[in-house]
Structure formats: structure tokens, C-alpha cells
Chains A and B, each alone.
Chain A
Amino acid sequence: MKKSLILVLVLLAPLASLMANGEGEDGYTIEVSGSTTVYPLMELLGERYSELNPGIRINANGTGSSDGIKAANQGTSELGMASRNLKTEEKGFGLDELAIAFDGIAPVVHPDNPLKQLSLDQIQKIYTGQITDWSQLGGQAGAIAVVSREPGSGTRGAFEGIVGFKDLLVAGASEFDGNGGVKAAVASNPDAIGYLSLGYLDSSVHGVAVEGAEATVENVVNGSFLIARPLLVLYRGDDLSHQTQTFLDWVMGEEGQSIAATKWVPAN
């Protein structure tokens, strides 16, 4: 009897602490879901905001742009994240859009690859299958392993739209799940080329300059780096709680935008 009582208590303890954490006096959780590209930024923003306002928790999930738009439309998340412009059918949902930052998309190769820069035309030819060998780009002979994102991905949509090959990806290109999947694939294959959001660039891959401009925040701001798109937050204006409205105001304010400026391009 005593033993089972202790067991029950042990099992209940985490539950109790969970309840204590979650719902305080003015406790409020803002559910955010959507684009894996906006996700790291939302994480940073949420962390800082919760430090400033201990009662508010920002629960962000990286589930993909379309999912974020769907979630905001159906109300399963208060805020949706998207890294592409809304599609026709989605425009019909009547959601409010807020660009919280801008982001560049950088072509990336393996760190051992000597490739320094590409033109938009060359990128287009690589991704549509007209350039298939590194020797055609002045490198060592070897077939190019083209790495892309899954259809419907915001990063892919923006990349294809800006480079100019909407839905014309060469057959045989690998498609990976999320920015992380592309990074892992490129980091482990010296013959691969992929593309990543600026926020995901690190030393495991090597960013390639486009039309002579390095993939940096400054170059996206001054417009010389051409592959850029807005990072959107979507919501229903009439349903927004005042806590969430305050959070969005803070995001668009000085401190929020200075966080956005660390790896992305601030909207203001």
C-alpha cells in the first residue's frame, strides 16, 4: 500500500510541476507554427520575450509554411509562420500578413568545394539539368549532385521563383526535408549543391556568392544579393488576443528587430 502510494506520487510529481509552470496568474502561451525557416528567428524572439515577460510563453513549432498558413486559418495556432508569399487559394483565407524580417537564400556547397561564385543563369542551368558537371563551372570533373527542398516548401518556392525555374527541377535531384536535411546532405557530400536560408549557414557548408555578392545580411539590405524573400507571420486580426498583439508590437519594435538583425534582415 505504502509502496504504491509512493509510486503514484512519483508519477504525479512532474505533472504537478508542469501545471505550476504553465498556468500562472497571468500565464499565457502563444502557439506559433509554420515555416522551418522562420522558426529559428521565432525561437530567439520567444526566448527573449519570455525573459522580459515571465508569464508569457511562446510555443514555436517548425512544421512548414503551408502548415503554418493552414494552422492560422483554422485557428489551431494563433500565429502562423510562412517564408513565401501566400498562394492564390490561401489569399482567399483573409489572413493578416506581417513581414517580421527578410531573409536571403544562399546556394551552398561542401566546404572542400573550391567554387566561389555563381550567376543566376548558372544556378538556373544547374537546377534545370543543363549544367551537370563541375568541370562546366571550372571545377574538377565530377557529376553535380543537385539538392533541393520538398515541393511546397517556402524556401523552394522563393528560390525557384527568383532564380526563374518554377517547378522545373531536374529529374534526379535529391529532395530533403527542411533546411536541416539539405544542410546535412550538402555537408556530407563534396559533389553536392543545395540552398539554405541565411539563418542556417554555418561552417559545415560553404555559402556561394551570387552575381558577385556574398550571402550576407548587409548584401541583402543593400540589394546586391538577389535571392531574398520576406518572412511572414500570419494571423486573424479580429481574433488576436491582447497578449499576442503586444508580442507582435514588440517584435516589430526596436528590440525585436535588433534580434532579427543578427542573422536576418530587419523589416524596418
Chain B
Amino acid sequence: MGRKQRIDQFFKVIFTVISTFSVLALLAIILFVFIQGAIPFFTATAEAVHVIPFGISSFTLDGDAYTYSSLPRDAKYVELGESPGFHTLGFQHQDQEVSILLDVDLERPLPAHRVNVVAAAPGVVKYTEEYVYEVTYPGKIAGQIRGFYLAIPQQPTGFFSQFLLDTEWRPTYNKRYGIFTMVVATLFSTFGAILVGVPLALLTAVFLSEFLPPKVGGFVRGAVDLLAGIPSVVYGFFGLMVVVPLIKKLSGAASGNGLLAAMFILALMMLPTVISLAETSMRAVPQMYREGSLALGASKMQTAWRIVVPAAKSGIFAGAILGTSRAVGETMAVIMVAGNSPQIPRVFTDGIRTLTATIALEMGYAQGRHNRILFSVGIVLFLIILVLNGIVLALKSRMMEDA
């Protein structure tokens, strides 16, 4: 084997290894997101009720003694047995033995009924949030509260009934994870942006490639490409400082943050992508098409719209797809102008919350099931983009057949 072949062989091995690893890494990421996002629909948050002591150093549960320090360092709770029945929780409070009787049955329909707490005086039992009981005793020092949290496991979330088609997004105390409003908002803002952005981009592209002198056209083209490189947060800032106050002034609504502002900014953001691709493909149309059309007596305008645009159709479509994907996936600019209220918009000035905005806003704050649900939102976003691209591809192939 010659030296050249050995070098070739060497690089071949390296390329194979690198590409295999990157494909595997991508697959692993997708798998991770899918697994995280699927968990809330298949499993409960825990198998049994968790008893979490606070301000209490030692206690007994059904006769077994526990001390706070002996519990595992990252799991300071005790699980109640799975089978329904009564459990007794005991601890020392102000030199008195206190015992709390718990009646547990996880099969009961209402979460609030799955645990019944009979607290010994002077304890206070509160159902502080969905799936959580708080049993508190005033401490020896005034104001210092001690007691137990009883965390009831959340059953699997219904994919359609409690997630995709539910309109209530109240994830903190009420544990409602309905994303229907966000799916609607994402679709509305994206289609709105397409309706405004694509025709504008097409007109601009025709003007650039067919009507402007090449020198001026080249300059404008450069400027458009520059626009594509501006970070989205800059568009968002422009929207927040200019577009939002303007919409408020013109519409008289309480706030200019909303669907209209989001549509406008998204349309603005997809313009450079669509213009650039459409214009490139129009310039790639052979010059003789135009010459033939003009020779037959068609005007310049007729040539542009009847000959050049149909010939450049696939490039225009590619631009529209890319622009749409950018609009669906856009996060930062939308967060800044859309108002982020999880509701179905009734008028154009109503605030909307898109799927991406939800993930970005709440990732740092979510915990437990709320956190996993954000991954599920990511999956829904992924599916929406798949479906959108599928539709556009189908449309495109049909138009190719017609042509």
C-alpha cells in the first residue's frame, strides 16, 4: 500500500469515527428529550405518599423510628406503604407525644381525598396546593413552625385531556398543564407572519432581481443578507421599544404586547431569509427565458410574474419553509413582544404565549413534573415543525407535477 493510500485510509477511519459519534450524539439528545417528555404521561411522580419533616429531628412512622440526620442526604423523606390503610405518625412536641393519624387510599378519585389527616391538637392541617398537605405545629420559639409535608403522588397526566387539549396552564399550585392555548398561539403567530412576510418578501425579491440595475441590486442584496445575521434579541428590542408602543397608541388597547406585535416581528425576521433565497433562485433562471418572453411581446412585468417566478418556484418555496421554521422556533424576540399570557387570542392585541416562549420562560423555575412537561412541550414543537414541513413538501411536489 502506497503512502497516499495509507493517508487516505487514515482519514477515512477518522471521518467515520467522527461522523458516527455526531450521529449518535444527535440521536441520544433526541432520545433524551423524548424520554423526559414522555415520562409524565406514563408514570406517577412517586409510588407512595412522601412524608417530609421540617423542623422535626426525630419521629416515628407506624412504630419505626427515624431521625432527620439518618435519612439519605438527598432524600429527606419517608415513603408511606403502598397499600391503602391507616398510618400513624408520631413525634415529640413541647414535651408531649403527638400522634397524627393518616388515612391513605391512592385510588380515590379526587387528589384532595387520597389522604385524610387527623391531626392532634394544636396542629393545623392545610391543603396548600394540589397534591400537598401541610401539617404544622407552632414551634417552641414563637414564629418557628415545624411539621410535615405530605406529598401525594400525581397520577400520569392524560396526553389529550390534561395536556394537548386542556386550556388551563397553571403549573405551580394547581398543577394544570394544558398547552392548547400555546399551540394555537404558535400557529396563529406563525401563519400571521407568513401571510404578511412571504408576499412582501416575494415582491422585494422580484423587484431586486428583475427591476433594479445590477449594481444597486447587489448593494441592496448585501444589506438584506446583513439583516439575516442580526441576532433575534435586537429585533425583539426594536419591537419592544417601537412596535409595541405604536400598537398600543393605534389600537387603544391596555397593552401593545400581543399577537399583532409578535406577527409583525416574526414577519420582519423571516423577510431576509425568504428574500435571499427567492432572489437567488430567480437570478438563476436562464436569461433566454426572459429574452424569449420579451421577444414574444410580453412586458417586463408580465415576464417577471409569468415566466421568472414560476420557473423559480422551488427556490421560493425553500425560502418560505426556512422562514416558517424560523418563525415557529423563534423565542427571544417573541418573549419580548408577545405578552406571554397563556390564553386563546380573541383580538389582535391580546397577549399570546408560544410554545418556545413557555420553555424559555419557565425552564429555570420549573421542578418536578412541571420540568418534565416542558420537555413534552418541546416534543409537541418538534411534531408541529415536522407536520408543517411535511405539508409544505407535499404542496411543493404537487406543484412540481403540475408544472
Interface string of A60-78 (1 = CB under 8 A from B): 0001111101100100000
Closest to A169 in B: B170
Q: Within the complex, which residue of A67, A87, A189 is in contact with B248, where a contact is CB–CB below 8 Å?
A: A189
Closest to B361 in A: A150
For residue A94, CB closer than 8 A to chain B, the reply is yes
Contacts of B48-64 to chain A: CB distance below 8 A: 50, 52, 54
Interface string of B223-249 (1 = CB under 8 A from A): 000000000000000001100110010
For residue A23, CB closer than 8 A to chain B, the reply is no
Closest to A70 in B: B367
Which B residues touch A238, using CB under 8 A? 73
Interface string of B363-402 (1 = CB under 8 A from A): 1111110100000000000000000000000000000000
**Docked-complex contact B367 and A236, CB < 8 angstroms:** no
Q: In the complex, A150→B52 CA distance in Å?
A: 27
In the assembled complex, how far is the CB of residue A123 from the closest CB belonging to chain B, in whole angstroms? 17
Take A167-B174, A174-B351 as given contacts and tell me if A92 and B52 are in contact as well, using a CB distance cutoff of 8 Å.
yes
Which B residues touch A226, using CB under 8 A? none
Interface string of B26-54 (1 = CB under 8 A from A): 00000000000000000000000010101
Interface string of A141-154 (1 = CB under 8 A from B): 01111010011110
**Docked-complex contact B54 and A69, CB < 8 angstroms:** no
Q: Within the complex, which residue of A94, A176, A184 is in contact with B73, where a contact is CB–CB below 8 Å?
A: A94
Q: Which of B5-13, B101-109, B192-200, B338-346 lies at the interface with chain A?
A: B338-346
In the assembled complex, how far is the CB of residue B247 from the closest CB belonging to chain A, in whole angstroms? 11
Q: Which of B91-99, B113-121, B251-259 lies at the interface with chain A?
A: B251-259
For residue B75, CB closer than 8 A to chain A, the reply is yes
Q: Classify chain B: how many residues form its interface, as a range.
A: 35 or more
For residue A260, CB closer than 8 A to chain B, the reply is no
Contacts of A133-171 to chain B: CB distance below 8 A: 142-145, 147, 150-153, 157, 166-167, 171
Q: In the complex, A150→B335 CA distance in Å?
A: 11
Interface-central residue, A73, A151, A177, A238, by most chain B CB under 10 Å = A151
For residue B82, CB closer than 8 A to chain A, the reply is no
Interface-central residue, A66, A144, A147, by most chain B CB under 10 Å = A66
For residue B71, CB closer than 8 A to chain A, the reply is yes
For residue B77, CB closer than 8 A to chain A, the reply is yes
For residue A93, CB closer than 8 A to chain B, the reply is yes
Q: In the complex, A2→B151 CA distance in Å?
A: 68
Take A142-B254, A191-B254 as given contacts and tell me if A157 and B172 are in contact as well, using a CB distance cutoff of 8 Å.
yes
Q: In the complex, A25→B377 CA distance in Å?
A: 47
Which A residues touch B336, using CB under 8 A? 181
Interface-central residue, B361, B362, B364, B370, by most chain A CB under 10 Å = B364
For residue B173, CB closer than 8 A to chain A, the reply is yes
Take A92-B77, A174-B341 as given contacts and tell me if A188 and B365 are in contact as well, using a CB distance cutoff of 8 Å.
no
Q: Classify chain A: how many residues form its interface, as a range.
A: 35 or more
**Docked-complex contact B52 and A91, CB < 8 angstroms:** yes
**Docked-complex contact B343 and A152, CB < 8 angstroms:** no
Closest to A185 in B: B257
Contacts of B157-176 to chain A: CB distance below 8 A: 169-174
Which B residues touch A73, using CB under 8 A? 74
Q: Within the complex, which residue of B76, B254, B335, B340 is in contact with A145, where a contact is CB–CB below 8 Å?
A: B254
**Docked-complex contact B367 and A150, CB < 8 angstroms:** no
In the assembled complex, how far is the CB of residue A128 from the closest CB belonging to chain B, in whole angstroms? 13
Interface string of B116-131 (1 = CB under 8 A from A): 0000000000000100
Contacts of B283-303 to chain A: CB distance below 8 A: none
**Docked-complex contact B255 and A175, CB < 8 angstroms:** no
**Docked-complex contact A63 and B364, CB < 8 angstroms:** yes
Q: In the complex, A92→B340 CA distance in Å?
A: 32
Interface string of B254-274 (1 = CB under 8 A from A): 111100000000000000000
**Docked-complex contact A167 and B71, CB < 8 angstroms:** no
Q: In the complex, A105→B171 CA distance in Å?
A: 22
In the assembled complex, how far is the CB of residue B371 from the closest CB belonging to chain A, in whole angstroms? 8
**Docked-complex contact B254 and A177, CB < 8 angstroms:** no
In the assembled complex, how far is the CB of residue A96 from the closest CB belonging to chain B, in whole angstroms? 11
Which B residues touch A142, using CB under 8 A? 254
Q: Within the complex, which residue of A145, A167, A175 is in contact with B353, where a contact is CB–CB below 8 Å?
A: A175
Take A92-B50, A143-B253, A189-B255 as given contacts and tell me if A151 and B362 are in contact as well, using a CB distance cutoff of 8 Å.
yes
In the assembled complex, how far is the CB of residue A66 from the closest CB belonging to chain B, in whole angstroms? 4
Take A70-B367, A152-B171, A167-B173 as given contacts and tell me if A94 and B75 are in contact as well, using a CB distance cutoff of 8 Å.
yes
Q: Within the complex, which residue of B50, B340, B342 is in contact with A176, where a contact is CB–CB below 8 Å?
A: B340
For residue B350, CB closer than 8 A to chain A, the reply is yes
Q: In the complex, A184→B236 CA distance in Å?
A: 13
Q: In the complex, A142→B249 CA distance in Å?
A: 12
Q: In the complex, A152→B363 CA distance in Å?
A: 9
For residue A192, CB closer than 8 A to chain B, the reply is yes
Contacts of A12-42 to chain B: CB distance below 8 A: none
Interface-central residue, A92, A145, A166, by most chain B CB under 10 Å = A92
> What are 10 A-to-B residue pairs whose CB atoms are below 8 Å?
A66-B366, A67-B364, A67-B365, A88-B50, A91-B76, A92-B77, A152-B171, A167-B172, A185-B257, A188-B240
Taking A88-B151, A152-B362, A172-B343 as given, write out 17 further A-B residue pairs in contact, using a Cβ cutoff of 8 Å, ordered by the A residue number: A66-B367, A73-B74, A88-B52, A89-B151, A92-B52, A92-B75, A92-B151, A94-B74, A94-B75, A94-B76, A142-B254, A151-B365, A172-B350, A174-B351, A175-B341, A188-B244, A192-B255
10 A-B pairs with the lowest CB-CB distances in the bound complex, closest first? A152-B365, A64-B364, A143-B254, A145-B255, A94-B76, A145-B254, A167-B173, A67-B364, A174-B339, A150-B361
Chain A residues with CB under 8 Å of chain B are 63-67, 69-70, 73, 87-94, 142-145, 147, 150-153, 157, 166-167, 171-177, 181, 184-185, 188-189, 191-192, 236, 238
Chain B residues with CB under 8 Å of chain A are 50, 52, 54, 71-77, 129, 132, 149, 151, 169-174, 240-241, 244-245, 248, 253-257, 335-336, 339-343, 350-351, 353, 360-368, 370
